[in-house]
């Protein structure tokens, strides 16, 4: 995996991916509370000190892990929005449903939601907006603007869409209700004047 940057940047990106892969594997197998920095370092094949130098604290590792998973969810939403470039309502509905279907089979999300004791990554998903909500709103608002023009209200729609996905992903009700709610949001957005 190369990013097209300098050798140093590419090497750092590869190391970060390896560390996050190791953290993801351990979290899905044991739960976040059982993950130690030593275990992540060992799984990634580096020293614990190298892990601390590369990522920082366990909290920063958790943030990076959730942020990377958030990016995967956002990629699904953006892909679905692009499938419907001329139909904002259809794109929003498809994006929400696609993200929830992705979440239904996502092992890391399942591990986060089923953790019942000790440390949890759930607060990173639901209560620390800079990791999921803010990141999601920025990406979705930019995608909507690229597809539908520079409407100053698009960030509000993006915020509602991201909150809808977070809500249904963390307390699943099935994609049908989410689709109805997404349609209602998008249709209301298109009817406003």
Of 5-9, 145-149, 161-165, least confident by mean pLDDT is 5-9
The gap between the terminal CA atoms of the chain, to the nearest Å, is 46
Reported as a single tens digit per residue, the pLDDT across 49-91 is 999 999 999 999 999 999 999 999 999 999 999 999 999 999 9
Reported as a single tens digit per residue, the pLDDT across 101-137 is 999 999 999 999 988 777 899 999 998 899 999 999 9
98: how many CB neighbours lie within 10 A of its CB?
Answer: 21
DSSP 131-145: TTHHHHHHHHHHHHH
pTM above 0.85, yes or no: yes
For the domain covering 61-191, report its CATH number. 1.10.357
Of 5-14, 44-53, 97-106, 134-143, least confident by mean pLDDT is 5-14
Say if residue 3's pLDDT is above 60.
no
The 8 Å CB, 24+ separation contacts for 73-76 are 73/99, 73/102, 73/103, 73/136, 73/165, 73/169, 74/135, 74/136, 74/139, 74/140, 76/102
Domain with CATH 1.10.357 in the chain: 61-191
Task: Indicate the CATH number of 1-56 among 1.10.238.10, 3.40.50.150, 1.10.10.60, 1.10.1740.110.
Answer: 1.10.10.60
Average pLDDT, the chain: 93
Question: What's the DSSP call for residue 120?
Answer: -
Residues 123 and 68: their CA atoms lie apart, in Å, by 16
Domain with CATH 1.10.10.60 in the chain: 1-56
Average pLDDT over residues 155-162: 97
């Amino acid at each position: 995996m190369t990013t097209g940057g300098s050798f140093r940047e590419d090497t750092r990106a590869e190391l970060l991916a390896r560390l996050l892969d190791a953290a993801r594997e351990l979290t899905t197998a044991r739960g976040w509370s059982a993950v130690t920095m030593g275990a992540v370092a060992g799984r990634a094949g580096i020293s614990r000190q190298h892990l601390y130098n590369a990522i920082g604290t366990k909290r920063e590792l958790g943030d990076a892990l959730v942020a990377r998973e958030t990016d995967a969810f956002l990629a699904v939403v953006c892909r679905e929005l692009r499938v419907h470039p001329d139909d904002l309502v259809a794109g929003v509905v498809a994006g929400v449903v696609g993200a929830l279907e992705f979440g239904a089979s996502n092992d890391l999300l399942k591990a986060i939601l089923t953790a019942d004791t000790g440390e949890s990554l759930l607060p990173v998903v639901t209560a620390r907006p800079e990791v999921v909500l803010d990141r999601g709103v920025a990406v979705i608002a930019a995608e909507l603007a690229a597809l539908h023009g520079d409407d100053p209200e698009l960030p509000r729609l993006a915020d509602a869409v991201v909150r809808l996905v977070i809500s249904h992903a963390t307390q699943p009700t099935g994609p049908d209700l989410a689709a109805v709610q997404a349609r209602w949001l998008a249709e209301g957005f298109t009817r406003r004047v």
